[in-house]
Amino acid sequence: MEKTNETKKTYYDRSSEEIFQIFSSSETGLSEDQIAKNRIEYGENKLQEAKKKGFIAVFFGQFKDLLVIILIIAALISAATGDRSSTAVILAVLILNAILGTVQYFKAQKSLESLKKLSSPQAKVIRGGKLEVIPAEDLVCGDIITLDAGDIIPGDARLLESYTLKTNESSLTGESLNAEKNASFQCSKGESVALGDQKNMVFSGTLVTYGRAKAIVTSVGSGTELGRIAQLMNDTGERKTPLQVTMDNFSRKLSAAIMVISFVVFLLEYFRGFGLLPSLLFAVALAVAAIPEALASIITISLAIGTGRMAEQNAIIKDLNAVEGLGCVSVICSDKTGTLTQNKMTVEYTDAYAENGRLMLLASVLCNDSKIADGEYIGDPTESAFLENFIKLKGNETLDKTLSKYPRLAEVPFDSDRKLMSTLHYVDGKYIMFTKGAIDVILGSTYSLTEEEKKNISDENFDLSNHGLRILGFAMKEIGEERSISPEDEGDFTYLGLMAEMDPPREESMKAVSDCIAAGIKPIMITGDHKVTASAIAKRIGILREGDLAVTGPELDQMSEEELNQNLEKISVYARVSPDNKIRIVQAWQSHGHIVAMTGDGVNDGPALKSADVGIAMGITGTEVAKDSASMILTDDNFATIVKAVLNGRGVYNNIKNAIRFLLSGNAAAIVAVLFTSLLGLPLPFTAVQLLFINLITDSLPALAISMEPLDKTLLNDKPRKRTESVLNKETLKSIGGTGLLISIATILAYFVGLGSFPWVDARGIGAVGASTMAFSVLCLARLFHGFNCRGREDIFRLGFFSNIYTIGAFVLGAVLLHLILLLPFFHTAFGIAPIDARLLLYVWILAFLPTLVIQIEKRIRYKNEK
């Protein structure tokens, strides 16, 4: 990140003569010799690419997880001892997960390709006094370029001449309105000016929408604003999602515990005289049984289900892990335009002077360059809003008739110096020039108002501006005849009134922001718009509350890290921000332990989207760069959709956590049973094949069903979990230990029933094999029952017994497979099963059900106490 923090040379604060001198250029352009020198000194007009990982590196990188390494060792030991079935199962699971991870990686690495597509293919340059068209990549600093409407600007450049020039810089600044450019713009040397306010500069990759200009190229390739964003994206590393961090910690702790337990069991069996290889084989089998291999698949399926739900709610997920990441988001940095607002200017307020309402309405559509074609508004959004306002009041048909009845006879186009636009029409038997523009300019040229009236209008304009509205005044002047008009005619106006516009908030934004705050999430507005406008919208929808602050990008640049950290919790609005600012904001919140979601639609948002824990791109207005950098895309560009995604993410994590609780409590029961019998010097309660069956069937089926549990909407009332919060927290460990102990007690009792230890139970001398059969049967069935316990916090009847039919299906299928093994002699030898009669089978069912009965009673009592 060091390159992005270096002081970049500025050109907006220099005169054209200075810039000519810097690049050894002139009005007639560069000579051939100087072109070669500048290319060597300032670089080529190409974006640099970061070194990419190859397929092999990515594929083998998937095997770095500690649990995966232990499973590989277990597979090798199984292979060495001749246990081919265990080896095959373990390797198949590992290879499948590695393939899925590799495919996902390469799908996500497209950001720089999209940036390169934005490069202009051609540039119009003046070299040696002649106009030439050259490939944009041949452009060098110091070249003189000409620009016309429709051109994509090939490099960052300082304007030398401009004629009503407007550019669309939304992909860089986030500002939806066209930027007005002016070659004569001046500021003090060294003065900090936000990108969107550099009126004498144009930027690579942006579009000329109006007018024409001549400029001198000041930066090319990686030195442009577009190139700096590409560099930021190279320097910005992908962050691990909260789930990945949690599972990494979980893997380390579980692996350590499993290795210790397996080693202890190996020593116990070896010193009891079972031999080296048999002891090692059983220890490996126990380790394989203790490691929840199904967990990777369960997480993937849970995330995939969440992805499907979110697609139905207008959110497309690119990175599966981002689904759960949304669930623990504690800060959402949202763009304003189109996400919190409707992304269209709307007339919110009109104030016609005296009886001039009809004439002002006429002026708003006649002195107007926008059009309607095929139901779409074409032209400046501000002017389009006037047409829409007319249609709301008078109807579409009346608009067509009005435009036909009063054709434009002459015009003076808008100019940023004059801040006015005028058109001539024949209205009511008179030639009338309608003028619209800045209120202060119109009032200064109006004779029909008293000084008090002018002051009242100025005060009204000031008040409306402070509420974030864009105000235009309207005036008229009678012209004696049909003739051409000029700026000299713009004076001695009759004031008609004013209209105020804004891009209004979406209807659902206020509730979505309120839901965010209730869910413990801090919503923040980050926009390229002006501070006043942004603050007004933020107040209206509840983001900017009492005591909160709004700051601009240049103000943020002046803040030290200490100042930012002190004010971070209070700042709710950031306006006129740069790409560097966005990354700094995201990283500041992350340094405070928060999980940050960032929305964006422009090229300038790419680095911040990549830096955030969850990057969210806009599907409608978003550039390809933003979409490629993000892990989620909103197809409706709606902030409310993010809140729905947060709930969905919390549901996914809740299901994964419940599945882990199920898997580990069952594994704990098996380990306790093995350690208990080993310490007492009794025969082992399970065979290696039985452990493999438990691992693949009675582990996997209910756990998969739990991952499909329907969404619990009350989860939105919970506070976001922290990045450092372990999936094995105190409450979860207590639950795993308690339920695991209950199941192990039932399993051990079944074991002693099989041994014939209870005189009131006739086990008919089925011995050690029978004891193993009883223990295996009860453990399998108890874990199948336990699947119902792990569906949620409440008891099964409050959750709804049939609300998750997959748990019922998992229980039935698992029970059928278990009984096939118990009752069909074909399986007895392979699984080490002794024949059992109906009475013993009844004991299996009773003992297996008892832990679930106790757990359900406890849940019921606890639920009543909590209420």
Q: Helix 225-235 to helix 579-591 angle, to the nearest 10 degrees?
A: 30
- In the numeric block, the tokens 């352009």 are attached to 29
The contacts of residue 462 (CB under 8 Å, 6+ apart) are none
H helix count then E strand count, the chain:
34, 23
Is-contact 372 387, C-beta < 8 A?
Answer: yes
Which has the closest alpha carbon to 711: 800, 621, 584? Answer: 800
CA-CA distances (angstroms) from residue 702 to 58, 486, 560, 663, 851?
Answer: 32, 81, 53, 9, 16
Sequence-distant (6+) residues with CB within 8 A of 727 are: 246, 247, 249, 250, 656, 657, 660
- Tell me whether strands 207-219 and 430-437 are parallel, antiparallel or unpaired: unpaired
- What is the rounded CA–CA span in Å between residue 231 and residue 213? 29
- Rounded to whole angstroms, the Cα distance separating 651 from 793 reads 12
Which is catalytic among the residues 156, 335, 613, 795? 335
Contact 389, 499 (CB under 8 A): yes
Structure tokens that stand for 144 in this block = 């003189």
What is the number of other CB atoms lying within 10 angstroms of the CB of residue 866?
8
The DSSP bridge pattern shows strands 596-600 and 614-618 to be parallel
Question: Mapped to the 3 state alphabet, what secondary structure does 45-104 carry?
Answer: CCCCCCCCCCHHHHHHHCCCCHHHHHHHHHHHHHHHCCCHHHHHHHHHHHHHHHHHHHHH
Asked if 837 is an active-site residue, the reply is: no
Give the integer Cα–Cα distance in Å for 254 and 728. Answer: 10
If phi > 0 it is left, if psi is from -120 to 50 it is alpha, else beta; for residue 138 that is alpha
- Burial class of residue 558 in the structure, from the number of CB atoms within 10 Å of its CB (0-12 exposed, 13-18 middle, 19+ buried): exposed
Encoded amino acid at 270, one letter: Y
The residues annotated as belonging to the active site are: 335
